[in-house]
Amino acid sequence: MIELNLTANTESEKRILEYLQNNVSETLADKVNNGTPFEKDGKPLFNKKTLADFMKYACDEARKLAEKGANSACIEDSVVYGWAVHFFEEESIVGTLYNADGTEYKPVVKAAAKPITKPVVTETKPKQVQWSLFDMVNETAQQNEVKDTAYDTLTEELDTDDEEFTEEEKLDAMRQVAEEEQAETAKPIVEEPKGNQIYQDYRLYQSEHPTAVVALRLGDFYEVLGDNAVMLGNELNLTITSRDVGLKERIPMVGFPYHAAENYFAKIVKKHDLYIIENERDTQFIQSLLYVDNRLIDQDTGEIIDITPTDDCTEKRQYVPPKYDQIIDYLTELFGNEMEIKL
Nearest residue to 83 via CA among 50, 61, 53:
61
* CA dist., res. 23 & res. 258, Å (int): 10
pLDDT in tens, 20-35: 888 888 888 888 888 8
Share of the chain above pLDDT 70, in %: 64
Q: Is the pTM here over 0.85, yes or no?
A: no
- Per-residue model confidence (pLDDT) at position 253: 94
pLDDT in tens, 220-238: 899 999 999 999 999 999 9
The region, left, alpha or beta by phi > 0 then psi within -120 to 50, assigned to residue 145 is alpha
Task: Give yes or no for residue 282 having a pLDDT over 70.
Answer: yes
Class of domain 194-288: alpha beta
Tell me: pLDDT of 274 over 90.
yes
pLDDT at residue 213 is higher than 90: yes
Q: Are 221 and 86 in contact (CB under 8 A)?
A: yes
Instruction: Tell me the average pLDDT across 271-289.
Output: 88
Choose the weakest-confidence range: 135-149, 161-175, 227-241: 135-149
Whether the predicted pLDDT of 294 surpasses 60: no
Facing residues of 317 across strands? 306
pLDDT of residue 216: 94
- Which has the higher per-residue pLDDT, 324 or 102? 102
CA distance 63 to 78: 17
Tens of pLDDT along 325-342?
556 666 676 676 666 666
Domain residue ranges of the chain, discontinuous segments joined by +: 11-98, 194-288, 289-336
The rounded mean pLDDT for the chain is 76
- Round to whole Å and give the CA distance between 255 and 238: 8
